[in-house]
Structure 1
Amino acid sequence: MKTKTKVILIGVLLAVIIVPASIFGVKHYQPKENDFTGIKLPSAPAKTPVKNVNTDVLNDEKKWTTNFTHDGAIIKTDGWYYVFSTDYMVGAPPTPGIQIRKSKDLIHWNFVGRVFEQVSQEAWDWTHGTTFWAPNVIQMNGKYYLYYSVSEVGKRNSYIGLATSDKIEGPWKDQGAVIKSKEGDGNTVNAIDPDITIDKSGQPWMVYGSYFGGIFITKVDKNTGKLVNPNDQGTLLAQRKDMNAGIEGPEIIYNKKTGYYYLTVSYDWLEDTYNVRVARSKNITGPFLDYNHKDMIDPGDDSFNTGNKILAAYSFGKDPGWLGTGHNGLLQDGENYYLIHNARTGEDKYWSHLHVRKMVWTDDGWPVVSPERYAGETEQRVIESNLIGEWQQIVLNRFDDAMEGSTKPQLLANGEIKNGKRKSQWKLTGKNTLQLSIYDPGVAPKDYWNFTVKVIPAWDWENWRGTLVFTGMNQEGTVIWGKKIINK
């Protein structure tokens, strides 16, 4: 056989062997977009998708679960999680009394009942209010202390009262006023929205206030549960310009690992633009500063840009989404932290639900929350192949409190982000830490928004399946959320 013929035959033979092998190899080793290798995804929180608007439960409290929860406060005791919340109902006037719900897992909630059937004579005489607002509950001295609000809508004629009980589900005994406010009393605080926080030395404090003069903190007598000085409104912690710039629903939690106290407040209107902001301080009495070192006492025109916005009205894809995402509660449960809040469905903003979200911490000690409601997930190690594919992404704009919609970036196997702009990159830098460099020439500092986010498993409530999400901040303290889309 001629040499030239041999070469041709060998070439053909190699092509027959190598080309299919190469094709097979590419197909075999190419990362899958739905790869969850090594990830334990949460189970479905219910047998079928939960209805956000369900008129069938209106008159059956046993089926309320998360429905009609507003201004919730959370406590864990005796192996149960309890949420106490404002009188609230849609379609009919609420039955007076602070609502109580309980859960074993923060996912499945049972309606327990109410505290009281009507406001006290003292609270009525002071405010002419007929319902209870924004309770808070804490365990001290071997019993439970329940703080509640009664107020005249739109005025500072307000009343914070105290009830006590030996059992978390009652019966409760009213102990009278803790602090009261009145139009023309010489103070600025509005006496509602109490939260009791115990500092690192064991001293209890009450942080409170809504609209009007801002958020204040004052010392609590640990033996009585009443204020050490009931005639002093306390120390101002946070303030906005006026009634058109709402601020309310304060909570404080201490993180021993970071050494900071974290103050959360809700901005704007409870039916739609409600959003949660956070700042921190080494001292419980402040000053509380945000990521950009701005003091939460900001009565200027720029107060809309104060505080890290970690939760806001949002919609993933074509889902109606959620409005009024505010008035949060905070819970530390061992090493885990959670944020609860009320949220109103985009289908009908008068239907309010209890949402529970896992809170995670950035590497520089800031709390951020999952973009999806809690379903039992834990932080886990992720690998690059888990992340490749299409995502839905939401940026929580600090300057605009309208509902945020999502975009659809794609994380490519070569480390690029396909988002309509070249040069955007992603990189996994830790156990579950992801760096996103979003190219935005002429707008971002040095043309890039650099987000550092935590990746965690989650339940995709909109599409009813397990997935991965991310949450974190950029170099200016703006929060970004992401959710991986599962292709069928």
Structure 2
Amino acid sequence: MPKYSKGAASILLSAALLIGGCSGGAVVAEPVYPTAPIDYPLYDLSNVDNEQEWHVSNAHDPSIIKVGDTYYVFSTDIKAAGTPRPGIMVRKSKDLIQWDWVGYALKGGIPLAASSWTKATNLWAPDIAKLGEKYYLYYSASEFGTNRSIIGVATSSSIEGPWTDEGEVVRTQQSDAPNAIDPNIAIDADGRPWMAYGSFFGGIYVAPLDPATGKFKDEGFGKQIASRSHQTEEGALEGPYIIYEPKFKKYYLFVSYDSLFADYNVRVGRSDSIEGPYVDRNGHEMNDSSYEPQYEIGNKVLGDYSFSEGDGWVAPGHNSILQDGDRSFMIHHARGQSKTSWAYLHVRQMIWTEDGWPVVSPERYAGETIQAIPESSIPGEWERIYQAKDVNGRVQGKPLSLSWDGAAEGEPGTGKWKLKGEHTLEVTWSLDNGETTVEALELLPSWDWELRKPALVFTGISSDGTGVWGKKLDSGK
């Protein structure tokens, strides 16, 4: 791989500083990295029964809302190394990094209608929303492995309750196409509420809500907006989440593919209408169950991964999205590589590409900010992760070398890199088949959770709609 000497580096760095340190010619300061965040222990058996010390552990299918200056996450009833208590877990944070236990939203456990219809022993995949002056907490119950399921709703005037159960929103049974779990409340460009929902079986549906009740406005199940041809773990489709992004005047549908225990991964498509059609970067419709191979549909932005050092993460997915002023975040769960029965809460900064696609950071959020990056911070040794769409399983980081002369060498082959604008790394790869491909990668001064030190990272998307991540191994010093 291309190398660079300290002498050459010093000369080139001086030259870069003389001309401003970036392609625009303006002087750019060294990146400001986040300080060391709180780092909760993994697989903490000493606190299995102490919920106050769970913090980010035992978090599955998280839904987030901001109330004032506080963030709240509601999540599925689970418990590693034990039996979960039903009632929907609640956590809160002031900074999206340090999370504190609040308790269970539904003190009485599983509501009667949900229990009698499904015989469920826990509640799944809640979603939290505010409609008018009330908070609406949607929950799911299901007979595992079937679509005998129900979505219900509880309301409160306070985000921390108490909650009043308002009963059924929608229910399904074996003779129905959809599966009434995994609700998400989306607000369209005109301020009207909708529910996206569904898992396996008939795919993902969306239906308008009555803002006065938080329940379906019309009879029926709504409109199907995403599906897959194989109703198996390998063909799973669930966990919908829809947002409207005013900057691009588009709706974005996030879904999770494949097995929630082994190879969950997050895909996204976009549309001009909340009812679709949603298409990926290649123009493939998320509702096209006849297209083969099915794994090609959707931009894959997050999947199983590990860098060369530190624990990796398995089956990240079932995300929610936080739009917080001019910042966006993806909130999801992931399973530890060493013990996959333990699920943890992850928050990642989400960045929008120039052409209007969301990508997420390869590192969990630690307080970093998007900022101008000097060209002199880029050359060096990196690791690159390509979230291949056809890979069912963990993707390992591969060496990437970016030289001071603008050369790039890594798994795709050889190429050239340059800094575009303030923080976009553009890499043009020359492939073995004679073709070229261009990756536009957003740079972010972050925290390296694996090595517990600052690190410059990048995130982007390839021309075929595949997430591309990188981490500089010698940055932040």
TM-score scaled to structure 2, two decimals?
Answer: 0.92
Alignment equivalent of 1:153, drawn from 116, 122, 144: 144
What's 1:76 paired with? 66
Distance in 1 separating the partners of 2:194 and 2:112:
27
- Give the secondary structure class of the aligned counterpart of 1:408: strand
Alignment equivalent of 1:288, drawn from 262, 278, 289: 278
Q: Would the alpha carbon gap of residues 417 and 149 (structure 1) be closer, same or farther in structure 2, given more than 3 Å must change? A: same
Displacement of 1:59 = 1.4
Distance in 1 separating the partners of 2:132 and 2:9:
65
What's 1:166 paired with? 157
Q: Determine whether 1:452 maps to 2:440.
A: yes
What's 1:209 paired with? 198
Aligned positions of 1:248-267 closer than 5 A: 248-267=238-257
Displacement of 1:483 = 0.4
What's 1:241 paired with? 229
Q: Determine whether 1:276 maps to 2:266.
A: yes
Alignment equivalent of 1:197, drawn from 165, 186, 207: 186
Displacement of 1:30 = 4.7
Q: Determine whether 1:29 maps to 2:18.
A: no
Distance in 2 separating the partners of 1:24 and 1:314:
32
What's 2:98 paired with? 108
Deviation digits for residues 422-470 of structure 1 (CA, Å, limit 9, x no counterpart): 641111111101111222211xxx5223111110111100000111110
What's 1:60 paired with? 50
Aligned positions of 1:9-408 closer than 5 A: 28-31=10-13, 37-46=29-38, 49-116=39-106, 117-184=108-175, 187-229=176-218, 231-244=219-232, 245-300=235-290, 301-408=292-399
Q: Would the alpha carbon gap of residues 172 and 476 (structure 1) be closer, same or farther in structure 2, given more than 3 Å must change? A: same
Q: Which amino acid in 1 is paired with 2:257?
A: Y
Q: Which amino acid in 2 is paired with 1:29?
A: I
Deviation digits for residues 338-385 of structure 1 (CA, Å, limit 9, x no counterpart): 101000000100010000000001110000000000011111001111
Displacement of 1:420 = 7.2
What's 1:434 paired with? 425
Displacement of 1:29 = 3.0
What's 2:467 paired with? 479
Q: Which amino acid in 1 is paired with 2:204?
A: I
Q: Which amino acid in 2 is paired with 1:277?
A: R
| Runs of 5+ consecutive residues of structure 2 not aligned to the other structure | 15-20, 22-27
Deviation digits for residues 36-75 of structure 1 (CA, Å, limit 9, x no counterpart): 95211011112xx542222122111111110000000000
Displacement of 1:202 = 1.1
CA contact (8 A) 2:63 2:75 kept: yes
TM-score scaled to structure 1, two decimals?
Answer: 0.90
Distance in 2 separating the partners of 1:50 and 1:424:
40
What's 1:16 paired with? none
Distance in 2 separating the partners of 1:484 and 1:25:
20
Distance in 1 separating the partners of 2:60 and 2:297:
25
Q: Would the alpha carbon gap of residues 24 and 265 (structure 1) be closer, same or farther in structure 2, given more than 3 Å must change? A: closer
Distance in 1 separating the partners of 2:63 and 2:7:
55
Q: Which has the larger radius of gyration?
A: 1
Displacement of 1:251 = 0.3
Deviation larger for 121-130 or 68-77: 121-130
Q: Which amino acid in 1 is paired with 2:37?
A: P
Displacement of 1:125 = 1.3
Distance in 2 separating the partners of 1:253 and 1:77:
18
What's 2:18 paired with? none
**Residue correspondences, number:** 456
Deviation digits for residues 170-213 of structure 1 (CA, Å, limit 9, x no counterpart): 000000000100112xx300000000011111110000000000
Q: Which amino acid in 2 is paired with 1:468?
A: L
Q: Would the alpha carbon gap of residues 421 and 135 (structure 1) be closer, same or farther in structure 2, given more than 3 Å must change? A: closer
CA contact (8 A) 1:459 1:467 kept: yes
Q: Which amino acid in 1 is paired with 2:102?
A: V
Alignment equivalent of 2:449, drawn from 412, 436, 461: 461
Displacement of 1:25 = 7.4
Q: Which amino acid in 1 is paired with 2:448?
A: D
Distance in 2 separating the partners of 1:200 and 1:53:
42
- Give the secondary structure class of the aligned counterpart of 2:399: coil
Distance in 2 separating the partners of 1:338 and 1:472:
15
Deviation digits for residues 218-243 of structure 1 (CA, Å, limit 9, x no counterpart): 010011111112x3111110000122
What's 1:12 paired with? none
| Runs of 5+ consecutive residues of structure 1 not aligned to the other structure | 1-22
Displacement of 1:27 = 7.1
Superposition CA RMSD, Å: 1.8
Q: Would the alpha carbon gap of residues 198 and 414 (structure 1) be closer, same or farther in structure 2, given more than 3 Å must change? A: same
Distance in 1 separating the partners of 2:7 and 2:144:
69
Q: Which amino acid in 2 is paired with 1:76?
A: K
Deviation larger for 97-106 or 317-326: 317-326
CA contact (8 A) 2:311 2:450 kept: no
